[in-house]
C-alpha cells in the first residue's frame, strides 16, 4: 500500500492520520448478509524525498535593497507527513556571496517557510546575478534530501549618472559647410540598464547663435549643421551638452564642446583709397600739379582681406602702363592688411596727358585666388611752364599809303600749350623809335592798326617787334 497514492490522502493536512475506509460483508446468526463499515489507519514511512517545484528557483532583488530585507523562497513539498516531512533548509553559498546572503526559516504551525535575507550591499553594475544552492531535508530515518539552484537576479536601479567619453570635445568646421554636415558626436555611457541607461542629449548654456547654426540629435548626440556657417561672422562656438538618463530620479552629466570655424577663401580683398598729404580728392578724383617731384604720394592705399591664413595674404599692384606705382609703407601692416603709397614714377606733363585712370589690383593667396580692383582718377593740373609761340617768326604785309587812321594792318596770333589762365595771352609792340606812335596793337586780339596816314614817299617800310606773353607770368 502506498499511503501517498490513496485518494483519501490526497488532500490530507500535515500531521493528520490517514485512514482507509472499507465495507466488509458478514453473517451473524442471520441468513441475510450485512455490511460492516471499517477504517484502516495507514501508517507513514519515509519513502518520499522532499522536492522544490522547479530545479531552478529565481529571485529578483533590486540593487538598492537595504541590508536585512527578507525575500520568500518557494517552499519545498514532501508527500510524507509528520517527522518524515520537510524538516530543515540549508543555503549553500560560494565565497562570492557569503557576505551578501543568508537563510532564515520562518515557522508557522507545522509549515516552514524559507526566506533569503540580504546581508550586504548589492551593486548590479559590479555583478548582476548570483547562483546559490538551497537544500531541503526531511526528518525521517534515514533522512532524505534534495536541492535546487537558487538564482538571484539583481535588478537595476537608477544609481549611476551618465559619463561622457571625453571631458571636452573639440572640432573644426569648414565655413560654408552644407546643411546636415556632421560636426562631431558626443557620447555618454550609463552603467545602469534599461530606461535607466537610455540617454537624452541637450544643449546647455548655448547661445542663440549656437542653437541657430547647430542641431543636436537628442538620441545619438550627433551635432550637425543647420544654419549658414561664416567664419567671418562667428569664429568659435563654445557651449555645453548635457546627457540625462530617463530613469526615475534622472541623473545628468555635462561636457564642454568647442567648435573652431576653419576658413575657406570666400572673401575678396578690399582696396581702400584715401587722401594723403596736400593732394586734393573730390568725388573719387585726385588733382595733382604737373610739376610735382617724382615719387610724390598721390593717395594712401590700404588693402585687407577678412579671411585668415594664406587666404588672407594679399599682394597689390598698379595695372597698366601709367606713371604711378605702389610703395608699401615700411613697418606697418600684416600679410592680411597692408598700406601703400600710390606715388608718381616719372615727371608729369599736363600738355601730354591731362588725366589718368589708375587701376589697382589686389590678389589673395588662396586656392583658387580671389582678386578685386579699385580705381582712382588722377587729373593733372596745369602750371605755367610753356612760353607762347607765334606761328611765324617773321611776318610781312603790303599796306597802301594814304590810308585811313585806325585801318587794320594785320592780325598776329600766338599759341600757348598751357591751359586756362596760363594760356591767356597779352600782345604788345616793343618800343622802337622808328615806329613809335605809328602802329598800335589790341592786347587781347593781336590786331595791329595804323595810327596815322602813311606816305610811301616819306617812308616805304617799317620794322617792329610784337611780343605775346601769358597773363599769369608775363613771360
pLDDT in tens, 312-322: 999 999 999 99
CA atoms within 13 A on the CB side of 390: 15
For the chain, percent of residues with pLDDT exceeding 90? 60
16 or 354, greater pLDDT: 354
Among 60-74, 322-336, 388-402, the range with the most confident prediction by mean pLDDT is 60-74
194 within 8 A of 160, measured Cβ to Cβ: no
409 or 164, greater pLDDT: 164
Task: Supply 182's cell numbers.
Answer: 556632421
Give the residue among 295, 262, 257 at the shortest CA–CA distance from 277. Answer: 295
Question: According to the model, what pLDDT value does residue 475 have?
Answer: 46
The three state secondary structure string of 177-196 is: CCCCCEEEECCEECCCCHHH
User: What residue has cell string 543568508?
Assistant: 102
Q: How far is CA 386 from the centre of its chain?
A: 67
CATH number assigned to the domain covering 163-262: 2.60.40.60
- 189 vs 31: CA distance, rounded Å: 96
Per-residue pLDDT for 373 more than 70?
yes
Question: According to the model, what pLDDT value does residue 45 have?
Answer: 76
DSSP assignment of 171-238: EEEETTPPTT-EEEE--EE-SS-GGGG-EEEEEES--HHHHHHEEE-TTT-EEEE-S---TTT-SEEE
pLDDT in tens, 339-352: 999 999 999 988 88
User: What residue has cell string 595771352?
Assistant: 425
Task: Evaluate the CA torsion angle 465, 470, 472, 475 in order and state its sign.
Answer: negative
Question: According to the model, what pLDDT value does residue 469 have?
Answer: 86
Give the residue among 143, 178, 159, 149 at the shortest CA–CA distance from 62. Answer: 159
Segments making up each domain of the chain, as ranges: 3-42, 56-155, 163-262, 270-381, 389-470
Question: According to the model, what pLDDT value does residue 474 have?
Answer: 47
Question: According to the model, what pLDDT value does residue 231 have?
Answer: 93
Question: According to the model, what pLDDT value does residue 150 have?
Answer: 96
The yes-or-no answer to whether 163-262 and 270-381 have a common fold is yes
| SS3 state at 160 | coil
User: What's the whole-number mean pLDDT along residues 132-153?
Assistant: 94
First-to-last alpha carbon distance for the chain, in angstroms, is: 163
Indicate the CATH number of 270-381 among 2.60.120.620, 3.40.47.10, 1.20.58.760, 2.60.40.60.
2.60.40.60
Nearest 5 degrees, angle CA 208-CA 209-CA 215? Answer: 90
Alpha carbon distances (Å) from 452 to 374, 393, 437: 67, 26, 8
pTM: 0.64
For the chain, percent of residues with pLDDT exceeding 70? 91
Question: According to the model, what pLDDT value does residue 82 have?
Answer: 79
Q: Compute the radius of gyration of the chain from its Cα atoms.
A: 61
Q: Kindly state which CATH superfamily the domain 56-155 is placed in.
A: Cadherins (2.60.40.60)
- 338 vs 327: CA distance, rounded Å: 10
Nearest 5 degrees, angle CA 376-CA 378-CA 381? Answer: 165
User: What's the whole-number mean pLDDT along residues 353-369?
Assistant: 94
Domain 389-470, second-level architecture: Sandwich (2.60)
Among 166-170, 229-233, 418-422, the range with the most confident prediction by mean pLDDT is 166-170
User: What residue has cell string 589686389?
Assistant: 362
- 430 vs 448: CA distance, rounded Å: 13
Per-residue pLDDT for 169 more than 60?
yes
Per the prediction, the chain carries an average pLDDT of 88
User: What's the whole-number mean pLDDT along residues 107-125?
Assistant: 90
Which helix (H) or strand (E) segment holds residue 13: the answer is none
User: What's the whole-number mean pLDDT along residues 116-125?
Assistant: 94
36 or 445, greater pLDDT: 445
User: What residue has cell string 605755367?
Assistant: 384
Alpha carbon distances (Å) from 256 to 186, 205, 241, 408: 10, 10, 7, 102
User: What's the whole-number mean pLDDT along residues 24-51?
Assistant: 72
Amino acid at each position: 500500500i502506498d499511503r501517498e497514492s490513496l485518494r483519501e490522502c490526497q488532500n490530507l493536512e500535515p500531521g493528520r492520520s490517514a485512514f482507509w475506509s472499507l465495507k466488509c460483508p458478514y453473517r451473524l446468526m442471520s441468513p441475510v448478509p450485512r455490511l460492516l463499515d471499517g477504517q484502516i489507519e495507514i501508517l507513514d514511512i519515509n519513502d518520499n524525498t522532499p522536492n522544490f517545484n522547479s530545479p531552478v528557483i529565481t529571485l529578483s532583488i533590486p540593487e538598492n535593497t537595504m541590508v536585512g530585507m527578507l525575500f520568500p523562497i518557494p517552499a519545498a513539498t514532501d508527500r510524507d507527513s509528520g517527522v518524515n516531512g520537510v524538516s530543515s533548509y540549508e543555503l549553500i553559498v560560494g565565497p562570492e556571496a557569503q557576505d551578501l546572503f543568508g537563510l532564515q526559516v520562518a515557522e508557522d504551525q507545522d509549515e516552514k517557510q524559507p526566506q533569503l535575507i540580504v546581508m550586504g550591499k548589492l551593486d548590479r553594475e559590479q555583478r548582476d546575478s548570483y547562483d546559490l544552492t538551497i537544500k531541503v531535508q526531511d526528518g525521517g530515518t534515514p533522512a532524505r534530501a534534495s536541492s535546487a539552484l537558487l538564482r538571484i537576479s539583481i535588478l537595476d536601479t537608477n544609481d549611476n549618472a551618465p559619463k561622457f567619453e571625453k571631458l571636452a570635445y573639440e572640432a573644426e568646421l569648414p565655413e560654408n559647410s552644407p546643411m546636415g554636415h556632421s560636426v562631431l558626436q558626443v557620447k555618454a555611457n550609463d552603467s545602469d540598464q534599461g530606461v535607466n541607461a537610455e540617454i537624452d542629449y541637450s544643449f546647455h548654456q548655448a547661445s542663440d547663435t549656437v542653437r541657430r547654426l547647430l542641431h543636436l540629435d537628442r538620441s545619438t548626440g550627433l551635432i550637425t549643421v543647420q544654419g549658414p556657417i561664416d567664419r567671418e561672422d562667428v569664429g568659435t562656438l563654445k557651449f555645453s551638452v548635457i546627457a540625462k538618463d530617463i530613469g526615475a530620479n534622472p541623473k545628468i552629466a555635462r561636457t564642454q564642446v568647442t567648435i573652431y570655424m576653419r576658413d575657406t577663401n570666400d572673401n575678396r580683398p578690399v582696396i581702400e583709397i584715401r587722401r594723403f598729404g596736400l593732394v586734393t580728392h573730390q568725388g573719387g578724383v585726385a588733382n595733382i600739379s604737373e610739376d610735382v617731384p617724382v615719387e610724390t604720394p598721390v593717395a594712401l592705399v590700404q588693402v585687407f582681406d577678412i579671411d585668415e591664413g594664406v587666404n588672407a595674404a594679399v599682394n597689390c599692384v598698379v595695372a597698366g602702363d601709367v606713371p604711378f606705382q605702389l610703395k608699401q609703407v615700411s613697418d606697418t601692416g600684416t600679410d592680411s592688411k597692408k598700406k601703400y603709397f600710390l606715388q608718381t614714377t616719372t615727371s608729369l606733363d599736363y600738355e601730354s596727358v591731362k588725366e589718368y585712370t589708375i587701376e589697382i589690383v589686389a590678389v589673395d593667396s588662396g586656392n583658387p585666388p580671389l582678386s578685386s580692383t579699385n580705381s582712382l582718377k588722377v587729373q593733372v593740373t596745369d602750371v605755367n611752364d610753356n612760353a607762347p609761340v607765334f606761328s611765324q617768326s617773321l611776318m610781312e604785309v603790303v599796306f597802301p599809303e594814304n590810308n585811313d587812321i585806325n585801318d587794320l594792318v594785320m592780325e598776329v596770333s600766338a599759341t600757348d600749350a598751357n591751359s586756362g589762365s596760363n594760356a591767356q595771352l597779352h600782345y604788345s609792340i616793343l618800343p622802337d623809335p622808328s615806329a613809335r606812335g605809328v602802329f598800335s596793337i589790341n592786347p587781347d586780339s593781336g590786331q595791329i592798326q595804323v595810327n596815322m596816314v602813311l606816305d610811301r614817299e616819306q617812308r616805304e617800310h617799317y620794322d617792329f617787334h610784337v611780343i605775346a606773353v601769358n597773363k599769369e607770368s608775363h613771360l
